[in-house]
Structure 1
């Protein structure tokens, strides 16, 4: 007890505010001293920190990069030790010398402000040179860096090279035997579309291995990486959830269509997918029919909710197509109704009405033919009806 009281006496010496107002007295209870010390400690803990940033830096950020006042003060407060603008001006000069636009530099400063204080020779230059060796330069390099500025803090040897090589290997080993120039071109476009995949090595490796285990290999894997690289930066459980949704619609592991389902499902939330699924059901399609259409043409769910509703309305109510025809040829949902579906359907209807066809034409074949082939097959052979057919095809009698 005596040692404990001595400890409190020492504390009173170290705390002027406490010792000036209260003289130490052994007669005071231990509880009183503990309560008093606790109160003083709490006041010190909750004392507000001084506000306000580095005014020199704040004004520079506002004037040069259009920062808001709050943003400028917030950033400058983290660099209160900065007494001059030498480092930021060096960084800006460095980026401008690379051909970066003011918009690129502003995005870098806004995204990762500490890059303005980075050592240009030892921190920035090695990463820039690495990307220049890959073929990125000027505005293209500026666009890439400004979208993912934190990439300039990655180690070239430990991070950038291994991840870039991992991505390049997918393009090199996809079985298409392409030239180095073609592989590099795909590599550049991929990392500029989604720089995040270069930042997450373990996620990238894990997702590549998982997709391969699902049967997405070779050219399918490289095509998915090229077209939608952000899939490879998803959290692993999110990617597994997307694949599970595809399997629930009777896709199978190793199916050539599975990669298209993954692509389509990854472009919308599960809630949006449910809304679109509900629209098909509202038009009378059964679950089995919807799943079958999705397996045949996974991108039919890529339409917006309003476009999907409008196209089904047109097919089923205006053109009077049966649901079985749409189920048989779901790809029709992905075609332009104004430029292709409506005019071609009218031409086919006129030909059937006049009885000049030996057999009913295949709707899917007629819709998928190039324009010159369609005219060659369904207009030119019927000279007596050609004028009427062309009028229908050009949209002048679509409502008759």
Structure 2
């Protein structure tokens, strides 16, 4: 198909007469595999406009986009071929460039959302973005939001977004918290009103309260998980001895905990219980320990402490739950740099712990 498309690009770029309606129809059916009925819809749309696919291809190529980029976009959104360069393509692309998307980043973004180059951007997406701008989303959060949700295919998106924002604000999710939930999980804004209310009710039933700063984080987590996944993680905690009350207590303290993969949770439980010898209540009190990187933070620090204990550099085992939460600078200063006689060995163990004989 890539070769066919390359020939097509060359043909319509070099011969205005070849960019006829029949050429477009043939390309849509034979090269891109559209059913004849669907291709005819685009054929009729083209025949009733003065747009020129040749100018579209020429414009996109002038911006540095490759033939494969253009092929991907047209395959997903054929109406791009019929877009008006001056009225539609240029302002749409300029909008994303002004947000900070340039060159390859812009190409990757459009490849995932080619419909943003069509006239539906102006008709349906821009009104949604105008609503979001009133929340003072900066460019970075705006880009993140656009990447995570395609709103142009949602029925009546502006009213739905406006109503859902109002409902979230009534729940106490305002200001920076509202920006956080929108940029992380913008699909919340296009859920049906009843569906969003049910989701918030589910979170409230778990013990969170309106106006709590944790509510937004819990809502984000629950919206990311299916009921089956949530139940499976609950059963995982129970298999390691946690009660239902302890599980929900840990979730309330660290709502992001349930976004941790099951494999990482299992490794964490095994390491903390069998190697560090934590009592279960340590994790109940500080569940965020399970969110730390074992490979990059927890295990290397434990190896350093273990070596120090074996060499009697330390006479008493420090509370490891506190050691884990020291900043990098604090840990290096307190446990490595000040022990000049062993600093090199300890640093090597810290950086390459798996290769060091601790004894």
TM-score band, normalised by shorter chain: 0.7 to 0.9
After TM superposition, give the deviation of residue 299 of structure 1 in Å.
1.8
Provide the residue aligned with 1:20 in structure 2.
none
Greater shift in the superposed pair: 226-235 or 242-251: 226-235
Provide the residue aligned with 2:145 in structure 1.
190
Superposition pairs for residues 99-114 of structure 1, below 5 Å? Answer: 99-114=64-79
What are structure 2's unaligned runs of at least 5 residues? Answer: 1-20
Provide the residue aligned with 1:50 in structure 2.
none
Say whether the 8 Å CA contact 1:347–1:389 is kept in structure 2: yes
Counterpart among 244, 248, 258 of residue 201 in structure 2: 244
Classify 1:344/1:253 alpha carbon distance in 2 versus 1 (closer, same or farther; 3 Å): same
Provide the residue aligned with 1:76 in structure 2.
39
TM-score of the aligned structures, taking structure 2 as reference length? 0.75
Say whether the 8 Å CA contact 2:69–2:111 is kept in structure 1: yes
After TM superposition, give the deviation of residue 280 of structure 1 in Å.
0.6
Say whether the 8 Å CA contact 1:264–1:301 is kept in structure 2: yes
In the alignment, does 2:136 pair up with 1:171?
yes
Give aligned pairs, total: 331
After TM superposition, give the deviation of residue 292 of structure 1 in Å.
1.5
After TM superposition, give the deviation of residue 285 of structure 1 in Å.
0.5
After TM superposition, give the deviation of residue 327 of structure 1 in Å.
1.2
Cα separation, 2, equivalents of 1:252 and 1:397: 48
Cα separation, 2, equivalents of 1:210 and 1:100: 42
In the alignment, does 2:155 pair up with 1:162?
no
Cα separation, 1, equivalents of 2:201 and 2:357: 43
Provide the residue aligned with 2:4 in structure 1.
none
Classify 1:328/1:397 alpha carbon distance in 2 versus 1 (closer, same or farther; 3 Å): farther
Provide the residue aligned with 2:162 in structure 1.
205
Cα separation, 2, equivalents of 1:139 and 1:233: 29
Superposition pairs for residues 244-393 of structure 1, below 5 Å? Answer: 244-349=201-306, 361-382=318-339, 393=350
Say whether the 8 Å CA contact 1:160–1:198 is kept in structure 2: no
Cα separation, 1, equivalents of 2:357 and 2:210: 44
Superposition pairs for residues 16-31 of structure 1, below 5 Å? Answer: none
Cα separation, 1, equivalents of 2:340 and 2:73: 65
Cα separation, 1, equivalents of 2:110 and 2:338: 58
Query: What is the CA deviation profile of residues 312-364 of structure 1, one whole-angstrom value per residue up to 9, with x for unaligned ones?
Result: 22222333322111112211111121232123224445556777768763333
Say whether the 8 Å CA contact 2:115–2:121 is kept in structure 1: no
Cα separation, 2, equivalents of 1:126 and 1:348: 59
In the alignment, does 2:231 pair up with 1:231?
no
Provide the residue aligned with 1:217 in structure 2.
174
RMSD value over aligned CA atoms? 3.7
Say whether the 8 Å CA contact 2:221–2:255 is kept in structure 1: yes
Say whether the 8 Å CA contact 2:121–2:152 is kept in structure 1: no
Query: What is the CA deviation profile of residues 33-60 of structure 1, one whole-angstrom value per residue up to 9, with x for unaligned ones?
Result: xxxxxxxxxxxxxxxxxxxxx9744553
After TM superposition, give the deviation of residue 119 of structure 1 in Å.
4.2
In the alignment, does 2:110 pair up with 1:153?
no
After TM superposition, give the deviation of residue 266 of structure 1 in Å.
2.3
Classify 1:340/1:146 alpha carbon distance in 2 versus 1 (closer, same or farther; 3 Å): closer
Query: What is the CA deviation profile of residues 163-190 of structure 1, one whole-angstrom value per residue up to 9, with x for unaligned ones?
Result: 2222222126xxxxxxxxxx34443443
Provide the residue aligned with 1:116 in structure 2.
81
Cα separation, 2, equivalents of 1:217 and 1:331: 25
Q: Could you say which structure has the greater relative contact order, defined with CA pairs below 8 angstroms and 6 or more residues apart?
A: 2
Classify 1:135/1:377 alpha carbon distance in 2 versus 1 (closer, same or farther; 3 Å): closer
